[in-house]
Structure 1
Amino acid sequence: MISKKWHQAVFFDVDDTMYDHLQPTRGALQHVMGLDDSFPYEAAYHRIRYYSDKLAAEGGLLHRAPGTSELEEMRIRRFILAMREFGSELSWEQAARLQAEYLDRQYRITPFIGAPELMKDLADAGVLVGLITNGPEEHQLQKIRALALESHVAPEHVFISGAVGYAKPDPRIFTAVNERTGTTADVCWYVGDSWRNDVVGASLAGWKVLWFNHRQTEPETTEHSPYGTAASYEELREMLLPT
């Protein structure tokens, strides 16, 4: 039972918002494929993420607990499809090795500079601090543990699409968070890097969105606009904890 009404809440995305999602991708590509620094890693990262979202949505993998085999197949296929666009035809075995190396590196990640400190200071100021992330529950929880975010976020304020039953950009995941935390949309802020998943999804739910655009990409649509845009946690701090 919700016993406290929160006056303000700030929820963060995880992948590429709490840590640099490009680093495990780059490391895996270099280790398995022997690519050098001239390869366009950031462009490949965006295409891998595109196919990950596309295949997961087509298979309904973000709204439930997927089977191990279907999840592994999706993850391997995303590498095959993405790398094909960069002139590399991967065999299933090569893509599987790439996925295994990537997964290992996903659990050896570190948060962006300033991220844990901002979460702590928000909580100390009486703000409800939480996480909303897409993906299978246990996989996302392992990342959260690797980042030591459980030190700053109560377990009941961690919302993972595979457990909630809705995935961003579906606004129902944000509505579900409001219902479960006793908050209302007008007091909730969401910080995320993805235009489609984070800016559009949270805006449709009536939340204020801060677009963490640290990759300096262009907005994908014109129908929605974030409350503010930041490229670093220093800028996010100025917006969320003005002095």
Structure 2
Amino acid sequence: MIVVSYQAIGFDLDDTLYDRCEIYRKIFTVMQAAVTHLEVDFETFYPIYLDYSDAEYELFIRHGKEKEAYRNDRVIATYKYFGKSINQDAAITFNALYLYFRDELELRPGVKMLLNYLKQQEIKMFVLTNGPSVEQRNKLHQLKLEEWIPASCWYISDELGYSKPDVDIFKLVERDLDVENILYIGDDYHNDIIGAQSVGWKSFHLAKQVTKYSLATQTVGNFDEILSVLNRV
């Protein structure tokens, strides 16, 4: 039996509890073959898409941009970055492919084992994620997260009026949980780690390599490692 000193442990959703990258790899493959071909590989395309996606999401959450417009514009902007002009129909196809492949979501290896252990020890768990409410809740249901974490502990930026890394969203979650010793696990250094550390939470950065001058309590490569680290706490 592991011994965990934290009162609550929280998780980011996208690219933490599941691997979002693989969904977009499938989308990119279809787009390349059937819609619009770029002279770059997926590893070059994906980080640029994420940058534009984050920028467009901020316009959606903070400045009232329409959801459909933000979703399409992030795709159009990414293709424009690589010198390819695409129309709304192509962007709609890209997003439709996302919905199609999203139905294949599954938890990362090791997640179920960790969640089962934490539930057995009655450690309070939560999810804190940026994104549109309906879309994020659909993912959480698809992953069957309610088996371990009640829907009342799913904190979604679209519903809260703040988004990571804003200090306010972390403070809101802390007040609602009514605990102090919190660990947060996420893959995005800026949104997850800096945000969590700014309010005094501990943080595990899920990453393949340590970020230079990292503020994270620990950098971990996978969920088996997380379980091992918690066992030593």
The TM-score, its normalising length taken from structure 1, stands at 0.85
1:234 aligns with one of 204, 208, 224: 224
Q: Paired residue for 1:20?
A: 19
Q: Which amino acid aligns with 1:47?
A: I
Matches within 5 A, 1:128-167: 128-167=124-163
Question: What are the superposed Cα offsets for residues 65-119 of structure 1, whole Å, 9 maximum, x if unpaired?
Answer: x78xx11111111111122333433222111111111122123211101112201
Q: Paired residue for 1:205?
A: 199
Separation in structure 1 between the aligned mates of residue 111 and residue 231 of structure 2, nearest angstrom: 13
Q: Paired residue for 2:46?
A: 45
Q: Which amino acid aligns with 2:19?
A: D
1:97 aligns with one of 93, 97, 119: 93
Separation in structure 2 between the aligned mates of residue 57 and residue 242 of structure 1, nearest angstrom: 38
Give the C-alpha shift of residue 217 in structure 1.
7.4
Q: Paired residue for 1:3?
A: none
Unaligned runs of 5+ in 2: none
Separation in structure 1 between the aligned mates of residue 111 and residue 40 of structure 2, nearest angstrom: 29
Give the C-alpha shift of residue 19 in structure 1.
0.7
Separation in structure 1 between the aligned mates of residue 19 and residue 123 of structure 2, nearest angstrom: 25
Separation in structure 2 between the aligned mates of residue 148 and residue 42 of structure 1, nearest angstrom: 29
Unaligned runs of 5+ in 1: 1-5
Separation in structure 2 between the aligned mates of residue 142 and residue 43 of structure 1, nearest angstrom: 29
Separation in structure 2 between the aligned mates of residue 188 and residue 7 of structure 1, nearest angstrom: 6
Separation in structure 2 between the aligned mates of residue 84 and residue 168 of structure 1, nearest angstrom: 27
Number of residue pairs the alignment of both structures matches: 226
Q: Paired residue for 1:196?
A: 190
Contact 2:210 2:219 in 1 (8 A): no
Identity of aligned residues (%): 28
**Cα pair distance change 1:227/1:93, threshold 3 Å:** same
Matches within 5 A, 1:67-86: 70-86=66-82
CA RMSD of aligned residues (A): 2.3
The TM-score, its normalising length taken from structure 2, stands at 0.88
Separation in structure 2 between the aligned mates of residue 170 and residue 211 of structure 1, nearest angstrom: 18
Q: Which amino acid aligns with 1:157?
A: C
